[in-house]
Amino acid sequence: MTIMKEPSFTIGIEEEYLLVDRETRDLAGDPPNAVLTDCEARLPGQVTPEFLRSQIEVGTRVCGTVKEAAEDLKRLRRTIIEVADNYGLGMIAASTHPMADWGAQKHTDKDRYNIIARDLQAVARRLLICGMHVHVGIDDNDLRIDLMNQVTYVLPHLLAISTSSPFWRGDKTGLMSYRIAVWDELPRTGLPERFDGWEQYQRFVDVMCHAGVIDDATKLWWDVRPSARFPTLEMRVNDIATRVEDTVCIAAIYMCWLSMLYRLRRRNQRWRIYSPLLIRENRWRAQRYGYEGGLVDFGQGAVIPYAELLDEIFDLIGEDAERLDCVEEVQHARKIVEEGTSAHRQIATFDAACAAGADHHEALKAVVDMLIEDTKVGL
């Protein structure tokens, strides 16, 4: 009998940012190469180009605690902001730019991105979106798959408090996370498949690779997936939170939820596996309303206010937050619900500018200015 290895529960956070021209407030569609070069020199191994030249990605080190990851992420943000400022650029942490036109963007000249652009065509060209990814160390392969099958339940709850993409090409979309609508145009996105174990998952990957559909498992862009590079379970459903404390909160809840699921397993219990149809409905509600519309409680068969659902989450993961030393970070979710997500602040800024007499374009510029400053909060 194989003894399952205790998960390490290490954590790493990746974020994607947008670079903007401070004068026009539009995206810096073709920033100087020196911006990335300077960032790489100051953050070796922790910064990479993204699909579009106006984007830049960072990743924390492998961290032992949420607090350690938070400090590293703050350092990364501060550095990118400082380097961008040296070139007359601003940095924003938001999943869409309020007014940029995707058709005017240039993608990064890199083999991986050239292949994506060739294979996905217009779908790829529309990818003017940013996200955040959270890696939690789950060393055992079969356990990683088991927890992936169960953790999908809470993904809409985490998307709801991360929303930062209410605008698209200058339009107020009516969605709190328009990024999801763009992302879902790609193949192999959304909720993951369910697998009996690692062997079944690996057979699936092998079939896809052998058929030439994908090169490797990095082309599986599910909301949560086993990382192809690290022994982690990687959550990818979220918008990027504009404020770093919100990012850390979401990462902490995700890690604690996985810890709770593992704790149940050690007691020969498990979280109920709900129909993907039900989970997709909550995913849509989070995409459309954020947390304001509430989510469906499948047990009660009713839409429940998000604040009540949050209380239930805290009850479920309370001892895990204590053990992992991130109670304060988890509890920050209450502040997000009280004060709003980035999407709320963007809409409020736009509406206030219009009410003060600004025209549509000037109001969108005000949103960009707000995002530049909001990205610095908590650093």
DSSP SS3 for 136: strand
Give me the pLDDT at residue 108, please: 62
DSSP SS3 for 63: strand
Asked whether residue 4 is assigned to any structural domain, the reply reads no
Give me the pLDDT at residue 272, please: 87
Asked whether residue 23 is assigned to any structural domain, the reply reads yes
Asked whether residue 307 is assigned to any structural domain, the reply reads yes
Query: 242 with 92: CB under 8 angstroms?
Result: yes
Query: 15 with 55: CB under 8 angstroms?
Result: no
Statement: residue 313 has pLDDT above 50: yes
Residue 140 DSSP label: S
**Range 245-261 average pLDDT:** 98
Total number of domains constituting the chain: 1
Asked whether residue 3 is assigned to any structural domain, the reply reads no
Which of 2-6, 53-57, 214-218, 361-365: highest mean pLDDT?
361-365
Statement: residue 126 has pLDDT above 80: no
Share of the chain above pLDDT 90, in %: 82
Statement: residue 5 has pLDDT above 80: no
Query: 175 with 181: CB under 8 angstroms?
Result: yes
Strands (E), the chain: 11-21, 47-49, 55-59, 89-92, 132-137, 167-168, 171-172, 224-226, 232-235, 295-297, 302-304
Asked whether residue 67 is assigned to any structural domain, the reply reads yes
Asked whether residue 1 is assigned to any structural domain, the reply reads no
Among 61-70, 108-117, 287-296, 354-363, where is mean pLDDT lowest?
Answer: 108-117
Rounded alpha-carbon distances, angstroms, from residue 196 to 2, 144, 146, 150: 16, 11, 8, 12
Asked whether residue 5 is assigned to any structural domain, the reply reads no
DSSP SS3 for 376: coil
Statement: residue 128 has pLDDT above 80: yes
Give me the pLDDT at residue 376, please: 98
- pLDDT, tens only, 43-84: 999 998 766 778 999 999 999 999 999 999 999 999 999 999
Asked whether residue 358 is assigned to any structural domain, the reply reads yes
What are the tokens at 217?
């498992």
pLDDT-derived band of residue 175, with 50, 70 and 90 as boundaries? very high
Q: Which residue has the higher pLDDT, 28 or 316?
A: 316
Give me the pLDDT at residue 1, please: 42
User: Domain of 179: which CATH number?
Assistant: 3.30.590.20
**Rounded distance, CA 291 to CA 169, Å?**
24
- pLDDT, tens only, 186-205: 989 999 999 999 999 999 99
| Residue ranges making up the domain that contains 199 | 11-374
